[in-house]
Homo-oligomer: A and B are copies of this chain.
Amino acid sequence: MSSLDILARDPGSRGRAGLLTTAHGKVRTPAFVPLATKATVKGLLSHEVAELGYDMVLGNTFHLFLDPGDERIAGFGGLHDFMGWQQPIITDSGGFQVFSMGHGTVASEIKGTSAQGTNRLGKIYAIEERGVRFRSYLDGSEKFLGPEESMRIQANLGSDIALVFDECTPFHVERGYTEASTERTHRWLERCLAWHGEHGDPAQLIYGISQGGVYEDLRKQSTEVIAASGTPGIAIGGSLGAEKAQMYEVVDWATSVLGGEHETKPRHLLGIGEIDDLVRGVELGIDTFDCAMPTRLGRHGVALVCDPEKRWRVDLTAGRFKDDHAPIMEGCPCPACALGLSRGYIRYLAHARELTGMRLLTLHNLAFVQRVMADLRAAILAGTLPETARHLRAGGAPGTTP
């Protein structure tokens, strides 16, 4: 039985709205999943994240493995109890972070960011069939992550959805490397499923990860292999291309082979969250998305606003906002804008790196993305996805869609 109830479909695309059932409750899909990398959505309390309308957060296997340690978290009853969040949690496999250390600029290529949370102390010693030996960025000690270790860590974390351990292949490598790497990821998938079958909690949903880079045959083949493996869900990862158009093409290839018997398997798109990407992703049949963008931008003074020309972003640290009495975004119903604070004040706080400013913009940005997702879901249920997608793409305010 599938964990995803599809409640409605957009007749003109692969878009669908549903309810994803997990051990800690349901996720209304399509949904964005905020990052709780280190057991917290940075600056927010768990109940605030729920009050924004989010059903699920994403915890980071790599970071939590290194500190405080997955066994320690298990001692606290798992990640839900540890961080005081009793709704669904998805955990990544750690593959993306561990390979980011070795592939250098992978992270920045794929996600438009610098390497996440790692520093010069962290580096890969060896990538082997068994897994990856690397140096901890925290204390320089040698660590090992492979398929079984990743599954064991995610079992200790007790996440509702676990991702299999994969190699996130970088953009710049040639087809030969991508092919070999994808095949290894498939072998690792089998080992993840074997470990979980023997030791795991049957209530934890395992998502395979489609690799194959930007090569149509490899990408489709990988997605088919994942789907045929029997994992209850499918994540799309790895190199999604250098530009948005190519990324959409790659996602299209992946979801194109997920019809028929695989139709009701939930699909997660890894690390993608810009507003136009969310709209297109939903049309391409994605159910859940995660991305550091809304929270990270908020911590750096950038607010999400209705401006497609500027990728829906405004950098409030700019000097021109010093005397701006307007709110972050006119008419915005978010908890930050509701306080009636001015852009001038937020600009000052953000420029001075004040915690309160980071918190206010994190709230605003997550509220913005949540309204976009709620609009898309409501539109699919109402049969009006094309109008809503057009409205949002044109810079229409979320929450006011026709």
Binding site for B on A (CB under 8 A): 38-47, 67-68, 72, 75-76, 82-84, 299, 322-323, 325, 339-342, 344-345, 348-349, 351-352, 354-360
Contact = CB atoms under 8 A, between A and B. Distances in A.
A82 B342 CA distance: 7
Nearest to A356: B40
Contacts of A82: 342, 344-345
State the number of copies, please.
Answer: 2
A352 B39 CA distance: 11
A47, A322, A348 — most chain B CB neighbours (10 Å): A348
Given A84-B340, A322-B72, A344-B76, A354 B42 contact: yes
Contacts of A325: 76
Contact of A43 (B38, B345, B355): B355
| Closest 10 pairs between A and B when the two form their complex, measured CB to CB | A43-B355, A40-B356, A68-B348, A42-B355, A84-B341, A38-B352, A82-B345, A355-B355, A40-B354, A84-B339
Contact of A83 (B41, B43, B345, B351): B345
Nearest to A342: B76
Given A43-B355, A76-B342, A83-B345, 16 more contacts: A38-B349, A38-B354, A39-B348, A39-B349, A42-B354, A43-B356, A45-B356, A67-B352, A68-B322, A76-B344, A82-B345, A83-B341, A84-B340, A84-B341, A355-B355, A355-B358
Contacts of A40: 349, 354, 356-357
Contacts of A349: 38-40
Nearest to A325: B76
A117 B177 CA distance: 51
A356 B44 contact: yes
